[in-house]
Amino acid sequence: MAVLAPEAYLRPDVIRQVQRFDLKARFVMEGFLAGLHTSPFKGFSVEFSEHRKYVPGDDIRAVDWKVWSRTNRYYIKQYEAETNLTGHLLVDVSGSMGYRGPGGELSKLEYATYLAGAMAYLMVHQQDPVGLVTFGEEIHEYLKPKSRPSHLLSILRRLNEARPAGPTGLAANLHRIAEMIPHRGLVVLFSDLLDDEAAVLDAFGHLRYRGHDVIVFQIFDAAETNFPFDELTRFEDVEGLETALTAEPNAVREAYLKEVSAFLERYREECLKRRIDFVPVDTATTFDKALLAYLQRRCGR
């Protein structure tokens, strides 16, 4: 494979050609950073968080003198670096995530795993613990958060081995995961969200109730969002539910696209109510757009 500029690795069609999964994750992240004037993650783990009372032994340089002038009390400015951000990456590996439409470079699951791998790469290199959960109808893999480089390799290996299969258990598994995670942290979900909407939103509420900061990457194939079909087409359920529909695309396109738009808008509105960051992307989207969407919402917290 020819040597390319780092920015080229933001394109799904290029990243697909890279053979090693760890390189894919690194190239996505470094390609993203290369196009920016300064790293958007600078200060990501050292942003101001809150005040706490001064105790003997604290660095006097951290005293907030403005607070002292108002209260005559000593308070320390506490930063996020004092308590590591613990991340949990949740990847849906149900059958629907294996879909790749006509002309598509990546399946939804491939796109999700590359994006999750890049985020794991980022967090470990920030010395933030990060864990991984993969699930379909049941939970498949659970790696507890750690920040060691060897742990990153374990995450990337599991992501590389992930294969889409079977029906989804999205809502039920999110409830299980909410109970599995012992402490508040950052929960990032990668899924097409093709499950009962009310049940999924209830599970989102469970995660928020447990104190987690939640970001949802809702991943569709480009064909699912654009519906590029022209000829008589048979549409089959990829999760093995033995349902199929033969239709004339031109006759159903308008209604289909309207329903997809409504589906996304419902999730956007409901996530907003729950203070959850909702990031809809499709597999034709370059990774920088997906990562910037994540970054903007995270930094806006």
| Coil vs helix vs strand at 16 | coil
Residues 176 and 70 in one domain: no
For each successive 10 residues of the chain (301 residues), what is the average pLDDT? Answer: 64 80 78 53 45 68 76 69 75 94 89 92 86 96 93 92 92 96 92 95 96 94 83 67 69 84 95 93 88 72 54
Residue 123, pLDDT score: 87
Nearest by Cα to 226 from 271, 256, 184: 256
- Do 247 and 168 lie in a common domain? yes
Decide if 90 contacts 188 (C-beta within 8 A): yes
Residues 35 and 57 in one domain: no
Task: Return the CA Rg of the chain.
Answer: 21
* pLDDT score, position 273: 94
Residues 173 and 293 in one domain: yes
DSSP secondary structure string for all residues of 157-204: HHHHH----S---HHHHHHHHHHH--S--EEEEEE---S-HHHHHHHH
250, part of any domain: yes
Give the whole-angstrom CA distance, residue 56 versus residue 65. 16
The verdict on pTM exceeding 0.85 is no
If asked whether residues 243 and 288 sit together in one domain, one would say yes
Give the per-residue pLDDT at 68.
73
Which pLDDT value is given to residue 111?
94
- Token representation of residue 44: 């990501």
The pLDDT value recorded for residue 113 is 93
Model pLDDT, residue 65: 78
Question: Which pLDDT value is given to residue 39?
Answer: 40
Does 132 lie in the same domain as 75?
no
Is residue 55 domain-shared with residue 153, that is, in the same domain?
no
CA distance 101 to 106: 9
Domain of 72 in residue numbering reads as 48-81
- The answer to whether residue 1 sits within a structural domain is no
For residue 267, is it within any domain? Answer: yes
Name the DSSP class of 136: S
Predicted confidence at residue 23, as pLDDT, reads 79
Q: At what angle do helices 287-299 and 21-34 cross, to 10 degrees?
A: 70
Whether 153 is covered by a domain: the verdict is yes
